[in-house]
Amino acid sequence: MKKSQKILIGAGASVLALAAVAAIAGPLVYREFLVPPAADAPSLSGSEQIMGEPSSGPLDPATLAGEWQVGADSEAGYRVNEVLNGTDVTVTGRTPEVTGTFQIGADGLTLEEATLSVDVASISTDSAQRDSYFRDQALRASEFPDATFVLTEPVTLKSAPGSGETVRATATGDLTIAGETRSTTADVEVRSDGTTAEIAGSIPITFADFGVTAPNLGFVSVEPDGFVEFQLTASPGT
């Protein structure tokens, strides 16, 4: 599961925890040594691959039709840039607390419905101070515990993909963060072998659209835009 992580807005609050050190150490030291590397962007490739090589033939659409449920190996979060004296520092937050369903029509080619929900209070980074700001001030998790994405337009493939073949598409839906809902478009990659599916993608967002102002302490600030990111597994419902 243009405006989440993603769910992702309080990212810039790391300035509250590391600002003093960063000011003394300098922007390059801050980026290279004080902040852990950002998580990789969502992808269907890599060591977490759960399916083999693509097959030569297309899947039977009948194996894809019906409800699919988000699995336990899923995660979602955000990606934003902090800026220290002109030096960009990419920060990512992640949580495995993601639930949702996908409804594929009888033709096996049309995603008719999709709903994703993320527990925003469980999103974590390398900084407890950043996470606290994100949870308590930016997203007001006690009042709005979940961020959601609900598909509003069907997505139809032209033909059945091969087993393990990567398909790229865009999905339009309503993204809700901190009680504010905006229409947005997610760029996604999907592949399936008929019994398991992988879905990866991102949604660009502007914090102000959700009533959130990114922190700015002068020498350390947070870019006004970011991304909600998700990397999901799904299987047919029972």
pLDDT tens digits, one per residue of 103-148: 999 999 999 999 999 999 999 987 787 788 778 878 888 999 999 9
Least confident of 132-146, 190-204, 211-225: 211-225
List Cα–Cα distances, 100 to 33, 50, 235, 236, in angstroms.
Answer: 37, 19, 11, 12
Q: Looking only at Cα atoms, what is the longest distance across the chain?
A: 61
The overall average pLDDT reported for the chain is 80
Whether 81 has a pLDDT exceeding 60, the answer reads: yes
> Tell me, what's the pLDDT at 184?
96
Percent of the residues in the chain that have a pLDDT greater than 90, as a whole number: 44
| SS (HEC) of the chain | CCCCCCCCCHHHHHHHHHHHHHHHHCHHHHHHHHCCCCCCCCCCCCCCCCCCCCCCCECCHHHCCEEEEECCCCEEEEEEEEEECCEEEEEEEEECCEEEEEEECCCCCEEEEEEEEEEHHHCECCCHHHHHHHHHHHCCCCCCCEEEEEECCCEECCCCCECCCCEEEEEEEEEEECCEEEEEEEEEEEEECCCCEEEEEEEEEEHHHHCCCCCECCCEEEEEEEEEEEEEEEEECC
> Tell me, what's the pLDDT at 25?
46
Least confident of 20-24, 34-38, 82-86, 211-215: 20-24
- pLDDT band for position 56 (cuts 50, 70, 90): low
Assigned token pair, 75 = 């995660």
Whether 176 has a pLDDT exceeding 90, the answer reads: yes
Q: What does residue 69 show for φ and ψ, rounded to 5 degrees?
A: -115, 140
